[in-house]
Structure 1
Amino acid sequence: MARAAELVGESWTLLIVRELLRGERSAEAISQCITGISSGVLAARLSTLQRAEVITKRGQSGEQPVFRLTPAGLELRPLVEQLGVWGQRWLPPPRNGQLAPALLVQDITSEIDATALPRRPVAVEILLSETPEPSHWWLVLSLGKAEAHLKDPGIPVVVRIAATLSALTNVWLGHTTWLHAVRSSSIRIHGRPDMVRSVLAWLGFSRLAKIQRAEHSLPRS
């Protein structure tokens, strides 16, 4: 246990693993989803994980390399997921400075049930406020596939969502509801009523939103 903790217990390491559990990623894509990590620290952690054969790197000369988990790295999934469950149960909702827009959007995209999406691709435009860049996103949704884009994909936008980063995060994590957020004007949704209902059903909530909260949260650090 001590040897394992020495390898994966360093700051940021399990967050890097969390991102790679979504699939192979470049260092830039990883850094967008981890608030506060410096490029130097990220490079050092990736190098350590490579030497330990928890991740591998691939990429041709002149291309931005991408990283992926080895079988050993993939076996860390239960640990990462259980940390998320514990945090949802015991920790207070995150503050705005603890949030990353890319992490939120990628998290939403990865949990969409792609089998329930329409055959013809549609786009959902998301504009986040009170957040660092990138704040403007498009979700492209079609049967079998849900993708997040930073540029207009040229696909018809059926619903536009304007929200503060913290408001959308709190809805996603189940700390509040869409209705409450809309009534408080922290989230504004534009689109035909039938499409709005469909989009909200497609987006759903984080699987962590189902976790029963502890009666008393731990104090903020």
Structure 2
Amino acid sequence: MTKGRTKAAARKESREAMLAEGARILHDMPVGNVLSQIKATEVAKGAHKTTGAFYNIWQDHNAYRRELIRYVLEPSRFDAVTEVIKDEVNRQKSASMQALVRSVADKNFSELKRNPFMGLQLTLWAKRESDPEMAAHLRGLYQGLNERLIPVYTMLLKNLNRRMRPPYEIQHLAVVMMALLEGLHIRSEIDPDAVPENLGAALDGIEYDPEHPWSLFAAASYALVESMTIDRSREDDLA
């Protein structure tokens, strides 16, 4: 490896480390004008770098701020959420609609609760009206998430032998499911009793199974899938 490549790799590692540290700091103080509270000295120290290394990459705090926003709101930060849906769809190809939707929804909700970038997204969302750049990055995040979720939901409907019910299209299902997921996640963080993990009842005529209970998110997801899609065997009903 040449000296130039070694230097470039070190610079890349320093950049990633200090962006990750900035995201950690944001997560720990999500109040007020959060971005102005992040200091180069604190970022460098937390990332085990020097302040000189910070300014060797970013000319000033504003340059770092712009890249930190892009880093935090990059759609790939939620790839783990997308992947868990895809894996569950592939794992249960022959499952019933009730079982598959319930399982996918529960795994989806659990994975989002573990994702630290969800809280950061909401923190930055509060600045959308006063910061056009922030609004643009948030829009890019949602559009990127849709691009990742559409193939997954397409595969889900294929496994269920269902199609979208007009006038809905597959992107509408992705948008509504994401909105439901975010909304119930926010509510569960501050009022967990309002978003039960076990409704304690059967759903859609299926006998109640305490081993596989319906959570509020799973039940609402099932209602959405059922209402926004139709069995392919009933396509003549849409003619």
**Per residue, is there more helix in 1 or in 2?**
2
After TM superposition, the score normalised by the length of structure 1 is 0.25
After TM superposition, the score normalised by the length of structure 2 is 0.24
**Per residue, is there more strand in 1 or in 2?**
1
Larger radius of gyration: 2
